[in-house]
Amino acid sequence: MKISAHLLHAPEPASLSYLQEHLEPDVTITTGPDLPEPAGYHILVAGRPQREHLVASPNLKALVIPWAGLPASTRELALTFPHIAVHNLHHNSRAVAEMTMALLLSAAKFIVPMDRALRACDWRPRYGLNPAVMLEAKTAVILGYGAIGQRVAKLCRALGMHVLATRRTVDALRSEEGAWRPALVDGEIEVYPPAALAALLPQAHALIICLPLTSETEGLIGAQELAQLPSRAVLVNVGRGAIVDEQALYEALRDGVLHAAGLDVWYNYPQDEAARIHTPPSAYPIYELDNVVLSPHRSGTPRLEAVEQERMRALATLLNAAARGEPLPNRVDVQVGY
């Protein structure tokens, strides 16, 4: 069937050309903030559309958010259009997984303070107590066993780590004694329901957060949860900042309750271009601590050409499936939030 899609934000010319090369003949696209007249698109590609974008076309059946996740404003709007399906693109799972491992290793090995010292010609870290932790034979607990979490799990296994994970869509399993059992075993990776979190935290030498931000996950990890982690545990967050309580995170790092952290997501973002050079990422001076590796929400590498090509390829796959009358991938449960 013939399918028309409108991309609210036009890709760069090279990316748009790459997308068009991978589309089947029955798919036509328009781009830009100005909607086509008459607006007859079947699929709208936009992360944060306005109401007028959803009502303009009587043919609209699907909204595609061109990344993973569901912005709060988009969720609120989508709830008022239950006949419009919402889908994500998971094109950047490889890039995010690689950054996750970079943060994990950098935090576990205290690369940043050693690099900073040696740049000042200070060799003392070589001769002092080494705060680095070994990861082989340790346990990684991954919160969110989706497209990103599954890739992270495989990379952790390659380091020789035992991997436990949580996933919303698996059923709870308890033994007769009340202990949690994995609801799913994916190769050598044990997957548990979110309700098993308290049982998993004491095993988490590395706690890796790959969750979306929803009403259920906001503040999921607070002071009580951080205190349950083993000594010398490392936390990595590539999900959303607010999943970990801001004050609890700072105090746990400052006081040594948490050995180290690698953070790509934050609590405070620049509100405009001018603010990009003077916006602290947190209300607490996390950035002053030596046991934290900071990244400015770059794990998805939006400016990396290879990742942008993967985005266009993933979008082409979705649009081509629509043209063939097949189910579209990565359907979002708007009620739940991901």
- Segment 13-27 shows an average pLDDT of 95
Q: Which of 291, 277, 255 is nearest to 116 (CA)?
A: 291
- pLDDT at residue 249 above 80? yes
**Would you give the distance in Å from CA 279 to the centre of its chain?**
22
Instruction: Read off the pLDDT of residues 304-327 as tens digits, 9 standing for 90 and up.
Output: 677 889 999 999 999 999 999 999
Q: What is the rounded distance in angstroms from the CA atom of residue 189 to the CA atom of residue 331?
A: 24
3-state DSSP assignment of residue 7: strand
- Give the model's confidence band at 196: pLDDT under 50 very low, under 70 low, under 90 confident, else very high: very high
Contact between residue 172 and residue 196 where contact means Cβ atoms under 8 Å apart? yes
Q: Which of 4, 197, 239, 220 is nearest to 103 (CA)?
A: 239
Strand order in the sheet with 85-88: 27-31, 3-7, 43-45, 62-65, 85-88
- We find that the CATH architecture of domain 93-294 is 3-Layer(aba) Sandwich (3.40)
- Residue 234: in which H helix or E strand, if any? strand 234-237
Return the pLDDT at 305.
75
Q: What is the rounded distance in angstroms from the CA atom of residue 303 to the CA atom of residue 103?
A: 19
Instruction: Read off the pLDDT of residues 26-67 as tens digits, 9 standing for 90 and up.
Output: 999 999 999 999 999 999 999 999 999 999 999 999 999 998
**Would you give the distance in Å from CA 300 to the centre of its chain?**
8
- Give the model's confidence band at 302: pLDDT under 50 very low, under 70 low, under 90 confident, else very high: low
Return the pLDDT at 306.
79
3-state SS, one letter per residue, for 254-322: HHCCCCEEEECCCCCCCCCHHHHHCCCCCCCCHHHCCCEEECCCCCCCCCCHHHHHHHHHHHHHHHHHH
Q: What is the mean pLDDT of the chain?
A: 94
Residue with tokens 């030596």: 290
Return the pLDDT at 303.
61
Answer whether 3-91+304-323 and 93-294 agree in fold: yes
Region for residue 327 given its phi and psi (left: phi exceeds 0; alpha: psi -120 to 50; beta: otherwise): beta
Return the pLDDT at 69.
85
The CATH number of the domain covering residues in 3-91+304-323: 3.40.50.720
Backbone phi, then psi, for 37, in 5-degree steps? -125, 120
- Segment 254-272 shows an average pLDDT of 97
DSSP state of 221: B
Q: Please give the share of the chain, as a percent, with pLDDT higher than 70.
A: 99
The two tokens of residue 90 are 């998971």
Return the pLDDT at 324.
96
Q: What is the rounded distance in angstroms from the CA atom of residue 219 to the CA atom of residue 248?
A: 10
Return the pLDDT at 102.
97
- pLDDT at residue 74 above 60? yes
- pLDDT at residue 106 above 90? yes
Contact between residue 258 and residue 297 where contact means Cβ atoms under 8 Å apart? no
pTM of the entire structure?
A: 0.89
Question: Can you give the residue ranges of every domain in the chain?
Answer: 3-91+304-323, 93-294
Return the pLDDT at 314.
95
Return the pLDDT at 301.
65
Q: What is the rounded distance in angstroms from the CA atom of residue 318 to the CA atom of residue 296?
A: 30
Return the pLDDT at 163.
98
The two tokens of residue 321 are 């499936």
- Residue 249: in which H helix or E strand, if any? helix 246-255
Cβ neighbors of 263 (< 8 A, separation 6 or more) are 103, 236, 237, 241, 286, 292, 293, 294, 295
Contact between residue 315 and residue 19 where contact means Cβ atoms under 8 Å apart? yes
CB atoms under 10 Å from CB of 212, counted, come to 20
Identity of the residue numbered 234 = V
Instruction: Read off the pLDDT of residues 5-15 as tens digits, 9 standing for 90 and up.
Output: 999 999 999 99
Q: How far is CA 251 from CA 87, 105, 131, 166, 254, in A?
A: 38, 22, 19, 26, 5
* 109-123, 141-155, 192-206, 305-319, range with the lowest pLDDT: 305-319
The two tokens of residue 136 are 């082989």
Give yes or no for a cis peptide into 38 (omega within 30° of 0). yes
Per DSSP, the residues of 141-200 read: EEE--SHHHHHHHHHHHHTT-EEEEE-TTSPP-B-TTS-B--SEEETTEEEE-GGGHHHH
Backbone phi, then psi, for 170, in 5-degree steps? -100, 150
